[in-house]
Structure 1
Amino acid sequence: MSVIRPVRDGDAQDLFGLLTLCFAEYPGCFTDPHDDLPDLLRPASHAAENGIDFFVIEDDGGRVCASIAMDNPAPQTIEIHRLYVRPDCRGRGLARMLVDHVETRARAAGATRIILWSDTRFENAHALYEKRGYVRAPQARELGDVSGSVEWFFDKKL
């Protein structure tokens, strides 16, 4: 375990499972692949078509157990998406490893900041981001999804 590789379209089922397990930890948080997660139906193809770098880590059985994606929404800015670690694989530093990977790639690309949006319910993720120097801004956004998600904005200068 712990080898980061690019996502493949064949990872779709594992990614749905990963997100479903992560979301199930929060009351009222659901996965809806057709309305909320269409990018995961063919994750590698969608990523390639939309300028997204999407990475995963497999468990010892070859199933995806962690993920992260990044894109470039503005000059010198990288945005993190889809950082998830399966509950049974937490505590092994996988999230830290994935964020390190994105930050290294961001610096190599000349980015001066990294941004992300995170569901207000994901307190463990917020602790990770804040420990790594990401600052939560006061703004929030509502997604209008099946889970009634509200997200906070985080920003880090590189």
Structure 2
Amino acid sequence: MSEGAAVLTLEIAGAAALVLRPVRDDDAQDLYGLLTLCFAEFPGCFTDPHGDLPDLRAPATAIAGKPGGAFWAVEDERGRVGACVCVDFPEPGTAELHRLYVRADLRRRGLAERLVRLVEAHAAGQGARRVVFWSDTRFTNAHRLYERLGYVRAPGTRDLGDVSNSVEYFYAKELGAG
């Protein structure tokens, strides 16, 4: 699936078969809905499509402008986006994971891990030697997953100054490690 164009059926515990496919521009509403559901779990965490989520207005178009980048959606049995993940390449040899979100009813079944592994495989296929990303300090369950998968949190944080007053941790993993 390194090309970003394949469609795959995913089997996860306790769920109907899911479809993994590249995002389309018409996924924008579903993606906003997914992020809104995920953010609503954290007090003071909001989605602001006009200010801090401009790439989601036309997600396929946005990622197409990033050489080697890929953005995948996971559809549930009703065709709704229930998870997503994105990767791009901010500098040679480095992939950056973005937009890993899984709807609450699809969690704790290995889906997020599979999506991280997909990003890692795609990154390696594009010649990246490491994967990096920023994650909101409130996303503690996600941090446990990342650390279990071999990602290391760097000291310090960054303040985004967004509508949610987001503060983020930086994570990195050398590919081939962990």
- AA aligned to 1:2 is L
Query: Which of residues 61, 80, 83 in structure 2 aligns to 1:45?
Result: 61
Query: After superposition, where does 1:28-43 map in structure 2 within 5 Å?
Result: 28-43=44-59
Whether 1:16 and 2:39 are equivalent positions in the alignment is no
Whether 1:133 and 2:139 are equivalent positions in the alignment is no
* Counterpart position of 1:80: 97
Contact 2:18 2:77 in 1 (8 A): no
TM-score normalised by the chain length of structure 1: 0.96
Shift of 1:18: 0.3
Query: Which of residues 100, 108, 112 in structure 1 aligns to 2:117?
Result: 100
Contact 1:2 1:94 in 2 (8 A): no
Identity fraction in percent:
62
Where does the alignment leave 5 or more consecutive residues of structure 1 unmatched? none
Q: Which moved more, 1:148-157 or 1:31-40?
A: 31-40
Give the distance between the partners of 1:2 and 1:109, measured in 2 at CA. Answer: 26
Give the distance between the partners of 1:130 and 1:2, measured in 2 at CA. Answer: 26
- AA aligned to 2:149 is R
* Counterpart position of 2:77: 60
Per the alignment, in what secondary structure is the counterpart of residue 60 of structure 1?
A: coil
Give the distance between the partners of 2:115 and 2:98, measured in 1 at CA. Answer: 11
Give the distance between the partners of 2:19 and 2:130, measured in 1 at CA. Answer: 25
Contact 1:72 1:79 in 2 (8 A): yes
Give the distance between the partners of 1:101 and 1:151, measured in 2 at CA. Answer: 23
Contact 1:21 1:86 in 2 (8 A): yes
- Backbone CA RMSD of aligned residues: 1.0
Greater fraction helix: 1
* Counterpart position of 1:89: 106
Q: Which moved more, 1:3-12 or 1:116-125?
A: 3-12
- AA aligned to 2:142 is A
Runs of 4+ in structure 1 over 3 Å off:
none
